[in-house]
Amino acid sequence: MIRVVSWNIGRRMEPWRELAEMAGRGEADVALLQEAGSPPGELVHLLPNEDGVFWNRHLYDRWCLVVGLSERVRVEPFRQVPPTSYLGEHDIGVSGIGTIAAARVVPLENEEEAFVAISMYARWMKPHPSTGSPWRIGASDVSAHRILSDISAFIGHVAPSRHRILAAGDLNMFYGATGHELSLPERERTVWARMTALGLEFLGPQAPDGRQSATPQPDVPADTKNVPTFHIIGQSPADADRQLDYAFASRGFHEGVNVRALNRADEWGSSDHCRLLIEVAAG
């Protein structure tokens, strides 16, 4: 079994140390990071070779990364290039700065079980100034659709079972949203529908694979199975009430993938997002 951690670390230093500790205990083989920034100096070796990935801090400093954490796997990052019609074998076309990172994860005990791992971060995108829009933050579905267009390059057959793709990260939207206070539910539903059309199965996490909020969650029905993965400023992990982080896998491949939110107060970690622990079965 390969253990993958998906985590928005918000450019913090301590999550890198917590990941190293997880790796030391044999609890993590790969990390899918969002808003990664740079690690503390003593852990710089965890970063992929910067010559092999697109990296420009002048454009954006909250990158997605796929990071190998154990000697049980080999992580082969795809180099980020503009989304041209023809990509090299080791390239991924990226249409949104800081929204995606991808790598081939190769289990060394059985290299035939390799899969493509994708870290996703649906950045908020403000409307164009010409709209005169009052939306201060913007909308995340804009970035999410760019991410899906980039992932589509790894889908080359009608039958989803011919692919082995794992995608996880922070989509900045609520699964099943019906309210409009913090969501654009009609637009956001198109993201979930497009995932399904691409043969990417929604894996949650959903209850009971994580602690549910003790208080009503915003913009979703009372019977939601969403599990909080993010707390706002002023909240503690115990008070978190909104889910922004999700995992998907290719239909067929998904049957051997399990995900849960490490969202209890005693396991949350040092970011405003909790970790998703994703277990990919061998064979």
Instruction: Judge if pTM exceeds 0.85.
Output: yes
- The confidence score (pLDDT) of residue 60 equals 60
Report whether 30 contacts 279 (CB < 8 A). Answer: no
Other beta carbons less than 10 A from residue 215's beta carbon: 9
- Smallest CA-to-CA distance from 172 within 139, 202, 145 is with 139
Strand ordering across the sheet containing 245-250 = 73-77, 100-107, 115-121, 165-170, 245-250, 200-204
- The confidence score (pLDDT) of residue 253 equals 93
- The confidence score (pLDDT) of residue 181 equals 85
CATH fold of 2-280 reads: Deoxyribonuclease I; Chain A (3.60.10)
Cis ω before 208 (30° cut-off from 0): yes
- The confidence score (pLDDT) of residue 42 equals 79
Where the chain has pLDDT below 50, the residues are: 49-55
- The confidence score (pLDDT) of residue 25 equals 93
The structural domains of the chain, with segments of one domain joined by +, span 2-280
- The confidence score (pLDDT) of residue 177 equals 92
Report DSSP state, residue 253.
Answer: G
- The confidence score (pLDDT) of residue 268 equals 96
Do strands 275-280 and 257-262 pair parallel, antiparallel, or not at all (unpaired)? antiparallel
Helices (H), the chain: 14-24, 141-151, 185-197
Q: Using CA atoms, how far apart are residues 248 and 33, in angstroms rounded to an integer? A: 15
- The confidence score (pLDDT) of residue 93 equals 82
